[in-house]
Structure 1
Amino acid sequence: MGTQHPLPILVTGGGRRIGLAIAWHFINQKQPVIVSYRTHYPAIDGLTKAGALCIQADFSTNEGILTFADTVKERASGLRAIVHNASAWMAEKPGTPLSDVLACMMQIHVNTPYLLNHALEGMLRGHGHAAADIIHFTDYVVEKGSDKHIAYAASKAALDNMTRSFARKLAPEVKV
C-alpha cells in the first residue's frame, strides 16, 4: 500500500508579515507549502530551504495572475487549500489619481483571488467532501468603513461578498 503525500497549501503574499507566519505554521506542521511573493526578501530563502515552493508573482496584471496559476498547475498535482493573503494598503492622498488607487485595491483584493480561484478550482476539487479550503483575508473595515482608505475598504467588502459567492459555487467539496 502506497503512502499518500499531503497536497500543498498555497499562500499568496507569503514573503512577509502574516503570510510568512502562515507559511511557517504549515511548514512546521509538515504540510507542503507553495508561496507567492512579489519582492524577494531573505525570508524567502528560509522558506525555500525549509522545503516550500516559492514562486515570484506579479498580481498587478491579469497576465501575471494567470502565469502564476499556470506555474502552480505545472508544479503541483492538486491543492489542499488556497490562503489569499496578498494585499496592498493604499490611501487616497493628494497627487495620486483616485482611479489608480481604486484600480490597485480591486486588482489585488478582488481580481487576484477571483481569477486564481477559477484557474485553480480543478486542483481543489476531486479530493472528497469538504476536503479543500479557500480562505480570503478581509478586514474589520468591511463593517465600519474608512475615511482615509475608502478604496481599500471597498475592495475588502467586495472580497467579503465574493467569499460568500464562491462558498455557494464550490460547496460541498471546497469550504470557502
Structure 2
Amino acid sequence: MTYSATPVCMITGAASGIGAATAVRFARAGWAVAIGNFDDSTRASALAVQDECRAHGAETLVFDADVSQDEACLRAVDDVTARWRRIDALVNCAGTTRVIPHAQLDDVDAAEFERVYRVNTIGLFQMTRAAAPWLRESATAKRSASVIHISSLAGLNGTGSSIAYAASKGAVNTMTLSLARSLAPRVRVNAIAPGMVDDGLLLRSLEPAQYRDVLARMTANSPLERVSQPAEIADLAFFLTEHAPAITGQVIAAENGFLLASV
C-alpha cells in the first residue's frame, strides 16, 4: 500500500464505549481509523463501529490486539502501517477491571494486580512503544503526532472499581509525563481522566440492576448532577489531537466536579 494522504488514528479497545465513540469522532472529521478489537467475543461490536465509521466516508481497518501481549501490539502496528504507511494519532482505550470494594483487601491478590496492570498499564506502554517510530515519522514541522491515554478519575483520587484499578490508572498518569518527555518534540502525549462514563467499563463489569444503581448514585453525587457520555471524552481526545499543539504531558480530568466534591 502506498503512503496515505489521509491522517490515521489508531484506537485500542474500540469495540465499545469511549474507544468506539473516538473512532466515530475521528471518522466524522475525515480521518482514517484503525479500530482495535480484542477477540471473537467483541468482533461483532467492532464491525458495527466500522460500519458507522464507513457511513461517514472514512477508510477503516479492524485489527485484533490483546494489548497485554507485546507481540500482539507489534503485530497490530504492522497491520495498520501495512495498510496506510503512517500513524498520526494513537488513542489507548483498552482497559480492564473487576469490581472489588476497596475495604476487602484480602480479595485483591498479586494475580489480580498483575492481570489489571498487564492491560491498563503495561499494555498501554507496549502499544505506545510499538507505534512510536511511526508517530515520529508522521509528524511535521507544523503538526505534531498525538498519543492520548484514557486514564480515570480513580488514578487521581484513589476511588474506582478496585484498588488495583486505581493504582493502574495512577501509573498511567505518571507514565504520561515520562512519555511526553521521551517523545517530544515530534509527538505529544496526554491523558484524559474521566469520572463515571455511561457505557464505560462498569457496564460490562456489573449486573444490569447494580449498574443502574451505581449510575443513579454517581449522578446524584456529582456536583454537576450528571455523568459523562463516551462522545464527550471522544471530543476531548480529538481536540487534544487536532487543536492543542501546545498541550503535552497533561492529565485532564473530565469528571463532572467529583474532585471538588472530595475536598
| Bin for the TM-score computed over the shorter chain | 0.7 to 0.9
Change (3 A) 1:107 1:44: same
Post-superposition Cα deviations, 1:120-146, rounded to whole Å, max 9, x if no partner, equal 111111322452000001111112113
Match of 2:134 in 1: 123
Match of 2:27 in 1: 27
**Range that drifts further, 153-162 or 62-71:** 62-71
Post-superposition Cα deviations, 1:72-130, rounded to whole Å, max 9, x if no partner, equal 33333111100001111223478976222111211111111211111111111132245
Counterparts of 1:26-175 in structure 2, within 5 Å, are 26-38=26-38, 39-48=42-51, 50=54, 51-92=59-100, 98-126=109-137, 127-129=139-141, 130-146=143-159, 149-175=162-188
Instruction: Give the distance between the partners of 1:18 and 1:99, measured in 2 at CA.
Output: 28
Is it true that 1:12 corresponds to 2:6 in the alignment?
no
Change (3 A) 1:123 1:90: same
SS in 2 for 1:135: strand
Instruction: Give the distance between the partners of 1:11 and 1:147, measured in 2 at CA.
Output: 23
Partner amino acid, structure 1, of 2:109: L
Change (3 A) 1:46 1:109: closer
Q: CA RMSD in A?
A: 2.3
SS in 2 for 1:143: helix
Instruction: Give the distance between the partners of 1:10 and 1:124, measured in 2 at CA.
Output: 10
| Contact 1:92–1:98 (Cα < 8 Å) also in 2 | no
Aligned-residue offset at 1:152: 0.3
Instruction: Give the distance between the partners of 1:110 and 1:66, measured in 2 at CA.
Output: 16
Taking structure 1 as the reference length, the TM-score comes to: 0.87
SS in 2 for 1:11: strand
Match of 2:260 in 1: none
Change (3 A) 1:89 1:131: same
Residue ranges of structure 2 left out of the alignment (5+ in a row): 190-263
Aligned-residue offset at 1:150: 0.4
| Contact 1:7–1:32 (Cα < 8 Å) also in 2 | yes
SS in 1 for 2:117: helix
| Contact 1:14–1:23 (Cα < 8 Å) also in 2 | yes
Aligned pairs, how many? 173
| Contact 1:105–1:151 (Cα < 8 Å) also in 2 | yes
Taking structure 2 as the reference length, the TM-score comes to: 0.60
